[in-house]
Homo-oligomer: A and B are copies of this chain.
Amino acid sequence: MPAQRADARRNYARILAVAEEEVAAHGADASLEQIARTAGVGSATVRRHFPTRRALLEAVSRQQIEALCARARELAGSGDSRGALLEWLGEVVAYSASARGLAAALARDGASPDSLYENSCSAALEEAGAPLLRRAVQDGAAAEDVTVADLITLVVGIVLATEHHPDPPAEADRLFRLTVAGLGPRS
């Protein structure tokens, strides 16, 4: 006895596939109705499988998020704690800047009453990044009151602000390096 009916699973997959293309093409505010139309289902079905736009964005971004989490685990064993953290953050920037909708999925949405099980995407990333940051703090390469959430928020901010540039990934990377370096040579 499947937890879900077979046709429901099929539709879920179809919708998700179409949504990936549509979000890639039109960004985080792609039309849900358009997705439904292309997938050949009713708009209600889309809403049934993905109650909120955010839910859909998170599902679309899932693979990328998991890849980033895996990368964090890889880097956790690296010798250079600061370098590992920066490398990982840089990849988060690169992914978010090139895969449209990812940044929006990561952005916290204060509109929710209970923020417990929500933000599954950003929660996963934060958990994966925690060891990296912890090690960097221990090595004195990062301030103690910084959280992974802070870093993710900064990254998301950079990506959001560069979203409309001619070459978002390049610009995002530039600003990220600038941020890492601090305002300038002399502090």
A interface residues with partner B (beta carbon < 8 Å): 82, 85-86, 107-111, 136-137, 140-143, 146, 150, 153-154, 156-162, 164-166, 171, 174-175, 178-187
Q: Is the CB of B108 within 8 A of A183?
A: no
Give A165's nearest chain B residue, CB to CB: B110
Of residues A142, A157, A158, A180, which shows the largest number of chain B Cβ atoms within 10 Å of its Cβ? A157
Write out the residue numbers on chain B whose beta carbons fall within 8 Å of the beta carbon of A184. 82, 136-137, 140-143, 146
Could you list 28 examples of A-B contacts with CB < 8 Å?
A107-B161, A107-B164, A108-B165, A110-B165, A111-B164, A140-B185, A141-B183, A143-B178, A143-B181, A143-B183, A143-B185, A146-B184, A150-B175, A153-B171, A154-B158, A154-B179, A156-B157, A157-B158, A157-B159, A157-B160, A157-B175, A160-B160, A160-B161, A179-B179, A181-B182, A181-B187, A182-B187, A187-B187
